[in-house]
Amino acid sequence: MRSRMIGQIMKIPRLARRLLADRGAMIGGILVLGLVALATIGPRAARHDPTACDIDRGLSAAGAPLPPSGDALLGTDELGRDVWARVIAGAGTSLEIATLATALALALGLAIGLCAGYAGGGIDRALMRLVDLVLAFPFLLVAMLLAALLHGADLAGTIAPIVITLGVIGWTTIARVVRGKAMVIARSEHVAAARALGASPARIVWRHVLPNVAGVAIVLGALGFAQNLLAESVLSYLGLGPPPPAASWGRMLFEGRTYYQTAPWIALAPGIAIVVAVVGFNLLGEGLRDALAPKDAR
């Protein structure tokens, strides 16, 4: 176990060198770091409260949103709220939801994939039929149904409904990929040796199978993070995201849809933020996939 841990630590510099040599991964990493900095440091630098409605100074004499200016970098919305402050607050909301949803999906996908891949037989067939059942329904339809049902529960005033929704329907790809890799590892010589020495299935999975599927799980998590960011925006646009007055990029798009001609900055700012975030995590995920791939497969 100690030699395996040392081997994993020694791989970190090589992984970093491969990522630094990948231009796409570098661009993705810069975008992701910028997004994280925006969500963590940005609220302290924002001049205005993202939920405060300033009818007197945030709207024109005719009651229209104000364009970008020195006081409001990205203008104001239909309620006189600062769009820049709301974009920053929306970054924190989107990152929190995507992080929790991705963690839930990884936990479910790893557990089911490892169990199916190592056990095989009837357990494997039953779990894979469950995956097929989940995949048989359209993603957006299932997400809308689950989010609507959870919104009717006591969790309606929190981000829990959308986190549970995205996590519950986002584990299938992870489970399939992990299951295939676990099946190969479970039939390897070192696992057979551990089994012959009397190691329990739980110990074998924890010490021999899981460390060897961690790399692919990291890649799937990065790519799934981008999907969850986009899905959260879609559900928020449909009114199934965080409840108001919480700022959300998807809700900002929804609120700015009727002002796309007179005040396009209301929808343009969150739209650009969504594109940058999704592209950043996709580029980083693809870079991780290439960096972690075997040398002969690249």
- For 153-179, what is each residue's pLDDT tens digit? 666 567 778 888 888 888 888 999 999
The stretches of the chain forming alpha helices (DSSP H) are: 2-21, 23-40, 42-45, 55-58, 83-119, 121-135, 139-151, 160-169, 172-186, 189-196, 201-204, 210-237, 249-256, 265-292
* Structure tokens, 135: 């995949």
Q: Nearest 5°: phi and psi at 262? A: -90, -30
Q: 5 in a domain, yes or no?
A: no
pTM exceeding the 0.75 threshold for the entire prediction: yes
Residue 6 lies inside a defined structural domain of this protein? no
Examine the pLDDT at 68 and tell me if it is beyond 80.
yes
For position 6, what pLDDT does the model report? 43
Q: Write down the pLDDT at residue 184.
A: 87
The percentage of residues in the chain with a pLDDT greater than 90, rounded to a whole number, is 7
- Token pair for 155: 């969790």
> For residue 113, what are the domain limits?
19-44+75-297
**Quick check: is 61 in a domain?**
no
pLDDT at position 297 is 42
Residue 269 lies in a domain: yes
> Is residue 13 situated within a structural domain?
no
pLDDT at residue 200 tops 70: yes
Which stretch of 84-98, 192-206, 256-270 has the lowest confidence by average pLDDT? 192-206
Q: Is pLDDT at 84 greater than 70 in this prediction? A: yes
Q: What mean pLDDT value characterizes the chain?
A: 81
d(CA 153, CA 131) in angstroms, rounded, equals: 26
Is residue 267 in a domain? yes
Cβ atoms < 10 Å from Cβ of 238: 16
pLDDT value of position 294: 53
Average pLDDT (128-140) is 84
| Band of residue 3 on the pLDDT scale cut at 50, 70, 90 | very low
pLDDT of residue 153: 62
Distance separating the N- and C-terminal Cα atoms of the chain: 28
Share of the chain above pLDDT 70, in %: 90
- Other residues' Cβ atoms within 10 Å of the Cβ of residue 191: 20
Give the Cα separation of 151 and 75 in Å (integer): 32
Q: For 205-245, what is each residue's pLDDT tens digit?
A: 888 888 888 888 888 888 888 888 888 888 888 777 777 77
CA 78 to the chain's CA centroid: 30
Say if residue 30's pLDDT is above 60: yes
d(CA 44, CA 226): 26
* 198: in domain: yes
Q: In 3D, which of 235, 76, 72, 282 has the Cα closest to residue 140?
A: 235
Q: Cα–Cα distance between 120 and 115 in angstroms, integer?
A: 8
What lies within 8 Å, CB to CB, of 98 at 6+ separation is 166, 225, 228, 229, 232
Instruction: Report the number of distinct structural domains present in the chain.
Output: 1
CATH number of residue 169's parent domain: 1.10.3720.10
Is the predicted pLDDT of residue 44 greater than 80, yes or no?
no
